[in-house]
Amino acid sequence: MEDELKNINHKFVELFMQTFAFTEEEYALFLSYFTFKTVTKKDYYLRAGECCHSKAYLNKGCARNFVLDEQGHERILFFAFEDWWLGDFDSYYSGKPGTNYIQLLEDSELLVISKENFQKAEKEISKLTQWYSFKMRRSASASRNRIEEMKTLSAEERYLKLIENQPHIFQRIPLQHIASYLNIEPQSLSRMRNRLTNKH
Amino acid sequence: MEDELKNINHKFVELFMQTFAFTEEEYALFLSYFTFKTVTKKDYYLRAGECCHSKAYLNKGCARNFVLDEQGHERILFFAFEDWWLGDFDSYYSGKPGTNYIQLLEDSELLVISKENFQKAEKEISKLTQWYSFKMRRSASASRNRIEEMKTLSAEERYLKLIENQPHIFQRIPLQHIASYLNIEPQSLSRMRNRLTNKH
DNA sequence: ATAAACACTTAACCCGGGTTAAGAAATGAA
DNA sequence: TTCATTTCTTAACCCGGGTTAAGTGTTTAT
């Protein structure tokens, strides 16, 4: 862990040191519960059927979170980039096997904390619970907004919104995965992009 | 309030008295922060553009939570029945105007608690915070499952799953609203039902 | 009792996305 | 450099759901 400390994403440091006002001691204690892990492109952090016993801070790299439909097609629920947390939280809390796959799309760095260590940390650093309920609320809100978006926008509208709001995704994520995220086939995305450019 | 106390849904009593082990005093205090409200069919608890300053326990009746898409079509996100809580939680926490409409579909009874009163109650009854973070986690999990369902199932599969898992909905909710919940037009639902019965 | 409002169904036509198949372009490995 | 793999595109055909329109029940209000 020692060597990697200097490489920790500044957003991680800022979040706990500034936003949640951890003391140096609390921060050091919190960090000591993590393990630093490098994973290569295409590795999985989690597969369906496994129990999720940890959460992981994505220090560097990006990942896709997907499930399989009844025909075995991969359906990407969302992408994760630097400063996101990885995990199947249904499985994490229920202790039961989950349905999510989480695959890294680049060589990446993770800060992994086990469920047990997180519980210990929560007992020792009371601010953590506060942070966590804040995060939970934000996550619930994001999911509700996503549902709203899926219900009110067409595939084309969602594509245009994605270009508008998260253009960086197109720099790092292959179009086939973006198609899956938009819930259409790669061929349909290709056809749609063609349609859109010929409009002008 | 006095008169209506005996009509409070037994699930409400059980939740706080048994599951969260409120004392008689805590329960009485908590209840004193609510106002009992009867509303008639088609009334709105909330409209888009309004700020949501309260949450409401649906003691009796049912409601639909919907948003408008860009063409002004109503899109139902979910239905609420007895023992659900009503509110636009993005607006509740942000203090900003929300996008959700919540309309009662039957003559209904609500137990309404204002944001201020809930905050007071949280300070006086620490178990409430515990209850609330539990609820938040459940809600986040439900939303994620809903996204997963929307991404992996066709309209027909979602319809069959609805019959299987929540047949009571068909007793109380008009088909046009169920169509909106399934994200299809009433005509398409009608056609689909016809298709399905003719299969046998 | 009667009209108005609401809820559901059927049918014809259109269009976007799925499917299948093939080929082009870009990337990676030996 | 060369071959293999991966990624992206194009095209033809099909199908489910949208759209429009009309018609049939079914409630609700007066």
Residues of chain A that touch chain B, judged by Cβ-Cβ distance less than 8 Å: 67-70, 75, 77, 89-90, 93, 99, 133, 136-137, 139-141, 143-148, 150-153, 157, 183
Q: What SS3 class is residue A63?
A: strand
Q: What is the pTM of this model?
A: 0.93
Query: Does residue B194 fall inside a structural domain?
Result: no
CATH number (domain holding residue B84) = 2.60.120.10
pLDDT reported for residue B71? 85
Backbone angles phi, psi at B40, to 5 degrees: -100, 155
pLDDT reported for residue A6? 75
Which one, of B135, B98, B181, lies nearest residue B19 by Cα? B135
Which of B86, B91, B134, B143 is the best residue to mutate to test the A interface, defined by the most A CB atoms within 10 Å of its own CB?
B143
Query: Does residue A89 fall inside a structural domain?
Result: yes
pLDDT reported for residue A3? 67
Query: Does residue B102 fall inside a structural domain?
Result: yes
Task: Report, as an integer, the average pLDDT of A101-114.
Answer: 95
Query: Does residue B148 fall inside a structural domain?
Result: no
Query: Does residue A165 fall inside a structural domain?
Result: no
Task: Report, as an integer, the average pLDDT of A160-180.
Answer: 95
**For B64-89, what is the HEC assignment?**
EEEEECCCCCEEEEEEECCCCEECCH
Q: Measure CB to CB from residue A140 to each of B69, B99, B136 and give the nearest one.
A: B136
How many structural domains compose chain B?
1
Query: Does residue A193 fall inside a structural domain?
Result: no
- B63, pLDDT greater than 90: yes
Task: Report, as an integer, the average pLDDT of A34-49.
Answer: 94
Beta-bridge mates of residue B114: B54
Q: Compute how many other C-beta atoms are within 10 angstroms of the C-beta atom of residue B180.
A: 22
CB neighbour burial string for A70-80, b if at least 16 within 10 angstroms, e if fewer: eeeeebbbebb
Report the alpha-carbon distance of residue A63 to residue A104 in Å, rounded: 4
- A71, pLDDT greater than 90: no
Query: Does residue A65 fall inside a structural domain?
Result: yes
Residue B154: DSSP 8-state: -
Which nucleotide is nearest, taking the CA of residue A177 and each C1'?
D7
Host domain of residue A89: 2-114
Gyration radius from chain A CA atoms: 19
pLDDT band at B70 (very low <50, low <70, confident <90, very high): confident
Sheet (strand B54-60) strand order = B34-39, B108-114, B54-60, B85-86
Cβ of B146 less than 7 A from strand C: no
Mean pLDDT (chain A) is 93
Which nucleotide is nearest, taking the CA of residue A197 and each C1'?
D9
pLDDT reported for residue A110? 95
Give B41 CA → C6 C1' in Å. Answer: 14
Q: Measure CB to CB from residue B151 to each of A77, A144, A153 and give the nearest one.
A: A77
Backbone angles phi, psi at B49, to 5 degrees: 95, -20
Query: Does residue A126 fall inside a structural domain?
Result: no
